[in-house]
Amino acid sequence: MALQALQSSGVALRRILSHFPEELSLAFAYGSGVYRQAGPNSDKNAMLDFVFTVDDPVAWHSKNLKKNRSHYSFLKILGPKIITSLQNNYGAGVYYNPLIMCDGRLIKYGVISTSILIEDLLNWNNLYIAGRLQKPVKILAMDENVILRSALDKNLKSAVTTAFLMLPESFSEEDLFIEIAGLSYSGDFRMVVGEEKSKVLNIVKPNVAHFRELYGSILQENPQVVYKTQQGRLEQQINHIMDPPGKNRDVEETLFQLAHDPDCGDVVRLGLSAIVRTSSIRQSTKGIFTAGMKKSMIYSSLKLHKMWKGWLRKTS
């Protein structure tokens, strides 16, 4: 199963996880602190990024406030219900605490409701955490929620189908993985202000093997392509693209409908940009409050510094 490719973890990451309440339906680590990236993001001591998915955010924040009160901004005085309301109803449904020292490492962690994550995985409402999960991550904990596991797998399949619509009839594995990795950055204003311009390439090039592990079984079972694993190439079988049965039009079914449009690639890019632009702006705005003004300024300066380093590398 494709999800099995996600499930690898390290002792250090699990040790950090032990500092938080245990009631997690899913916990994963991602980013340059977990997977090596090319360019200026390759520092092995980079900040570690985590996402914690919880069934009951009010109960989880209540316990975390008792255990890690210093992690929260001034919003901690409002209590777990207000924090959860802010988490669920604004931005991309995630509450981030950045720039936390934990077990000797600088970390950032986001908390999201299980139900909101499932909705994003299936329908790409925000393509925020769903987008993170389209790239290699280290799964640290996962319960037996069958609906969540199915939604995680569906998200990967939808990412593949979307990338196919924007690629020619024949392409390489790396071409495919670059398209997939770029889906959740389409329209993201941070790619203009803050994020290093070559981010997508820096993510994919050192991690092709991890992407192959994540998507290999999906590609081998997909009737739309011939996957030549030895050559690392794929060829689309256009005649296999047809409308699937079913009345519920989730992401994948909508994409199959679009496949008949000769301009489908442009249509898909515009749609993705609209989703990501809105969610990234709202989530970043929310971050000013959830992180606090001081941490927000520090975090933003670190992002801008990485962008500047990337620009200098290109021009030198």
Q: What is the pLDDT of residue 196?
A: 47
| Alpha helices, H only, 183-226 | 199-204, 208-221
Backbone angles phi, psi at 78, to 5 degrees: -85, -15
pLDDT confidence of residue 32: 86
Name the average pLDDT for the chain.
80
**Sheet with strand 170-172: strands edge to edge:** 170-172, 233-236, 225-228
pLDDT at res. 304: 47
- pLDDT tens figures, 139-167: 999 999 999 999 999 999 999 998 998 89
Q: Is the pLDDT of residue 190 over 70?
A: no
Quick check: 204 and 182 in contact, CB under 8 A? no
Question: Residue 252 — very low, low, confident or very high, per pLDDT cuts 50/70/90?
Answer: low
User: At a CB cut-off of 8 Å and minimum separation 6, what does 34 contact?
Assistant: 13, 48, 49, 137, 138
